[in-house]
Amino acid sequence: MNVNQSAPPVPPFGQPQPVYPGYHQSPYGGQPESTAPPTSYGAYNGPVPGYQQTPPPGVSRAPPPSEAPPASTAQAPCGQAAYGQFGQGDVQNGPSSTLQMQRFPGSQPFGSVPLAPVVSQPAVLQPYGPPPTSAQVTAQLAGMQISGAVAPALPPVGLGYGPPTSLASASGSFPNSGLYGSYPQGQAPPLSQGQGHLGAQPPQRSAPPQASSFTSPASGGPRMPSMTGPLLPGQSFGGPSVSQPNHVSSPPPQALPPGTQMTGPPGPPPPMHSSQQPGYQLQQNGSFGPARGPQPNYGSSYPGASTFGSQPGPPQPLPPKRLDPDAIPSPIQVIEDDRNNRGSEPFVTGVRGQVPPLVTTNFLVKDQGNASPRYIRCTSYNIPCTSDMAKQAQVPLAAIIKPLARLPPEEASPYVVDHGESGPLRCNRCKAYMCPFMQFIEGGRRFQCCFCSCINDVPPQYFQHLDHTGKRVDAYDRPELSLGSYEFLATVDYCKNNKFPSPPAFIFMIDVSYNAIRSGLVRLLCEELKSLLDFLPREGGAEESVIRVGFVTYNKVLHFYNVKSSLAQPQMMVVSDVADMFVPLLDGFLVNVSESRAVITSLLDQIPEMFADTRETETVFAPVIQAGMEALKAAECAGKLFLFHTSLPIAEAPGKLKNRDDRKLINTDKEKTLFQPQTGAYQTLAKECVAQGCCVDLFLFPNQYVDVATLSVVPQLTGGSVYKYACFQVENDQERFLSDLRRDVQKVVGFDAVMRVRTSTGIRAVDFFGAFYMSNTTDVELAGLDGDKTVTVEFKHDDRLNEESGALLQCALLYTSCAGQRRLRIHNLALNCCTQLADLYRNCETDTLINYMAKFAYRGVLNNPVKTVRDTLITQCAQILACYRKNCASPSSAGQLILPECMKLLPVYLNCVLKSDVLQPGAEVTTDDRAYVRQLVTSMDVAETNVFFYPRLLPLTKSPIESATEPPAVRASEERLSNGDIYLLENGLNLFLWVGASVQQGVVQSLFSVSSFSQITSGLSVLPVLDNPLSKKVRALIDSLRAQRSRYMKLIVVKQEDKLEMLFKHFLVEDKSLSGGASYVDFLCHMHKEIRQLLS
């Protein structure tokens, strides 16, 4: 892939902007082409314009890699690795810097690159309001100009909602529409308006800020109010603004030092200005010097403003401006602040509607009546009282529920409550289970349901007196009256056919076609299973697992094995009639491991030898699943099938598939067919599997297209998992495959599960996302559910909510444990309700919002063109932020982008979702890779989507070697890479070790045991085990990262300027991507433009 090759043209975000009459519009917002050097930025999300063929002066550009994979290949070559080892490409976003990026200390706010010497005036704090917390203060720029005496201010509008943070950008200010105050030459107008109206007071610092705002060079400056209708509130025409900021404003930008040049997209064209306003000089495009005369290369000067105020003169060329990346919200800073502020104290769940710490923060949970955020996270913990308010805000109301989440060892698992034959106590009307929010009345003889308000009798055996507060005296002795999460032992009424279930079974179904044998997969798998069968999941302190196992091998026909303990050798039975599948034996197929140990070992030794000389290349697929399901049905138990499969099933049989891979469909209306299954046969089969409690886990080892979109239907609908190892080679992929297999076989699973989410009056669950099947509108059916899977539920209003009583959710999961015990797991959560939009925006959680939006979009591609899905996401995000700007932020210049404090990362994270391989694939991303990632994300939890869309980039040589803590992360951008350093990048599926070309020789020796950079093997996947502090530290860090993730991350060593670097750069998500994805800075400008269009 040539580094200098431009990406295929991609339609820009949103709609084309109207061109102002009277001048020629240039590519990015209208700067003259002649006065600025060409920039490396195209139109928003447009094609990469050959990206910077000539480096800017003073920065040397390294030569492009000598060899690179062709961009147009439809299938990734086998040597590459990523989501199934596919190679991702990326554009070099500007020159590879040979200078080390200067890192500012962590204590500085995220926008803290000082643009100018700080004006030496004392920082005066208001005498009222709570002191700003560190998180709030960090949201402010360093070096704010505080001027004038402090006067008592009015309380901020909107229930004490603090003023927005003012973020100055390196590009100065937009021409503020209608705010051309007469500032001295070289000074800027205030960049932000605060809350509350203080008349013409000077700016002051007030209550803690709750929003981030900064000026962005979005294309097209704000038009004059005379063009757009009445003035916005708080704006005035000429003269200083009446509504002065109630918080800090930015210092006036000083002149840049000689030789300094800001590169990036030029700013907007100035707005039309009436020359009939004497005395208020136009602020031009972020350059607060003398305003310019007519500019060369414009079609004509602006009507009515030929000399821009009264300052004629020769045109003065300006360097193009670009938003300073350090002046826009940083995910790293937000994560760091949350860790510092909330990582030390346990999160106590007793208070309704608390927003938990971020998923990236390590914290302990104390359950005091609401479910832990490890089980349930919400997009907002304060729900609008009315549907009209919810529609206005456009913030989706959703919960990401992980019912069987694994807890850290310091936290207790949910208590199991046994109510004997009477079973758990429930509401007679809505069937909600007893929980801490139920209200006992009439001395404890009755209770009122908190979900439907029905009055129920308390059974005599459950009766208990109430104390003086109306609480039962035994409340703290009963988990269901004092905790948010607990389990009930289910009675026989909760079991299929009214009889208790048998323990589940595992069936291993192994592809023995030519590909599987030749790659060494079959031998490796059989060897591993001999020891792995000792680690089947077991309950509590049980000495051995009660799970029974069975074995099937297959190619075009199926081979069943009798491994009964009384046999000396295993017996094989062949079923060649795949069209009418049946199980040829019952007794001896599913056996207890310890009883049949010798026969199983003998079988696993024989399988690789038996098929060693096979020439059979064709395989079947649907009949294999059918056979496993029939075997479980005959044994009257639930269970799991482990399928190991290598190729597209083209043999004559039900579920036969054809190769339909067609890259020409990308970016057409037919692209959605690539994500849809080829045939309905697999949906029908999945439905039968769910009815039997047969969950399917699929391990794929493709060398070419296998139609993941179709093969993953059964795993997806039965609550199973798909693992993909493209171009599997034992020496390279053995560790990853075996690690995934061990974890998959050992993890605790709930079988034959049904989940229902109940809500209090006013809201109801309307939509569900995840790996499950639904036969009606309320019950989520899962043949299997493990501790990694989530179910996402969206809620809508069906009535008005009450601020006092709040809103309640109860998730009830009925399942069979690994020991064959029928159980009910209950999670309860109480949320606040609000009548003010400001309260909604103050209690949102961006990570959860992005998790929901990604799943919504990834489901959308099944039925809509990808472009429509992308546009829908952008529009929704713009509406959320525009609603905040209109209703919660104080009136201020349209040239500012104001973001809610807890949503300031929404644009950067949303851009990562839009650039992901499902929604915007690069040339080398295969159709199978896209289908694989699509189904993977569908059941990811919030922590997994967080790191998947915004990978972690850790510098390894910056922190002291003796330090045992994880090094602090840096932002995922090439600008942050120093070529004298080594970085580790992880996204939950991949792990890269990037080695800069100028790394010290001692570091190279310590890590790789070679003497120079050139001797490091590119693509290396294992670090040598060396006895020195650095090697130990890096290997320990890699192990700890792998332990945090649900799948094994294979390491790939990438050298700077090597051909693998393209793959690595694909994960630097703040930069422009090769497939046409916008950089963070460009996307932020684009979002600003969208928001302003909505507001105007």
- As to burial, measured by CB atoms within 10 angstroms (0-12 exposed, 13-18 middle, 19+ buried), residue 190 is buried
- CA distance readout (Å), 855 to 140, 768, 909: 33, 10, 14
Q: Which residues of 758-783 are buried (b: 16+ CB within 10 A; e: fewer)?
A: bbbbbbbbeebbbbbbeeeeeebbbb
Compute the C-alpha angle 161/897/168, nearest 5°.
95
DSSP string covering 23-90, please? SPPPSSTT--STTSPPPS--STT----S--SSPPTT-PPPPPPS----TT-SS--TT--STTS-----
pLDDT tens by residue, 855-913: 999 999 999 999 999 999 999 999 999 999 999 988 888 788 999 999 999 999 999 99
% of the chain residues with pLDDT over 90: 66
* pLDDT of residue 174 exceeding 70: no
| SS3 per-residue string spanning 899-949 | EEHHHCCHHHHHHHHHCCCCCCCCCCCCHHHHHHHHHHHHCCCHHHHHHHH
CA distances from 670 to 356, 363, 1078 (A): 42, 46, 24
- How much of the chain, in percent, has pLDDT values that exceed 70? 71
Q: How many CA atoms lie within 13 A of 1032 on its CB side?
A: 7
Which amino acid is residue 804, in one-letter code? Answer: E
Task: Measure the CA–CA gap between 972 and 99, rounded to whole angstroms.
Answer: 17
Number of neighbours of residue 432 by Cβ within 10 angstroms: 24
pLDDT at 155 over 70: no
What's the rounded Cα separation, in Å, for the pair 653 and 868? 37
Return the pLDDT at 894: 78
Tell me: the pLDDT tens digits for 484-523? Answer: 999 999 999 999 989 999 999 999 999 999 999 999 999 9
Number of residues in the chain: 1096
Inform me whether the pLDDT recorded for 282 exceeds 80. no
Note the pLDDT of residue 324.
Answer: 83
Q: What pLDDT, on the 0 to 100 scale, is given for residue 363?
A: 95
Closest among 442, 369, 434, 346 to 806, alpha carbons compared: 369
User: Considering the chain, what is the average pLDDT of its residues?
Assistant: 78
- Tell whether the torsion through CA atoms of 133, 134, 135 and 137 is positive or negative: positive
Choice between 494 and 100, residue whose per-residue pLDDT is larger? 494
Q: What is the DSSP annotation of 497-517?
A: GGSPPPPPEEEEEEE-SHHHH
Q: Is the pLDDT of residue 285 over 90?
A: no
Check pLDDT > 50 for residue 82. no
Quick check: 834 and 840 in contact, CB under 8 A?
A: yes
| Residue 958, pLDDT score | 83
Determine how β-strand 416-417 pairs with β-strand 485-489: parallel
pLDDT band of residue 392 (cuts 50, 70, 90) is very high
- Residue 436 has, within 13 A of its CA and on its CB side, a CA count of 25
Averaged over 637-658, what is the pLDDT? 96
Of 155-164, 434-443, 746-755, 1059-1068, the range with the lowest mean pLDDT is 155-164
Convert 986-996 to b/e letters by CB count within 10 Å (16 or more is b). bbbbbbbbbbb
Banded pLDDT at 321 (limits 50, 70, 90): low
Residue 188 has pLDDT above 70, yes or no: no
Vertex 496 angle, CA 494 and 498, to 5°: 70
Q: What is the DSSP letter of 256?
A: P
Residues 6+ apart with CB under 8 A from 1057: 62, 63, 65, 96, 997
Confidence tier at 97 by pLDDT (50, 70, 90): very low
3-state secondary structure of 752: strand
Strand 1050-1055 with 990-995, pairing: parallel
pTM value is 0.75
Residue 257 has pLDDT above 80, yes or no: no
CA distances from 611 to 495, 703, 771 (A): 42, 20, 35
Structure token digits, residue 793: 């539920």
Q: CA 223, CA 17: separation in Å to the nearest integer?
A: 13
Cα angle for residues 730, 736, 741 (degrees, 5° grid): 100
Greatest Cα pair distance in the chain: 105
Residue 561 near residue 551 (C-beta atoms within 8 A): yes
Is-contact 921 69, C-beta < 8 A?
no
For the cut 50, the answer to whether the pLDDT of residue 89 exceeds it is no
Lookup: tokens for 768: 């569900």
> DSSP state, 125?
B
- State the pLDDT at residue 211: 63
* Nearby residues of 762 by Cβ (< 8 Å), 6 or more positions away: 797, 798, 799, 800, 801, 802, 807, 833
Question: How many other CB atoms are found less than 10 A from the CB of residue 417?
Answer: 17
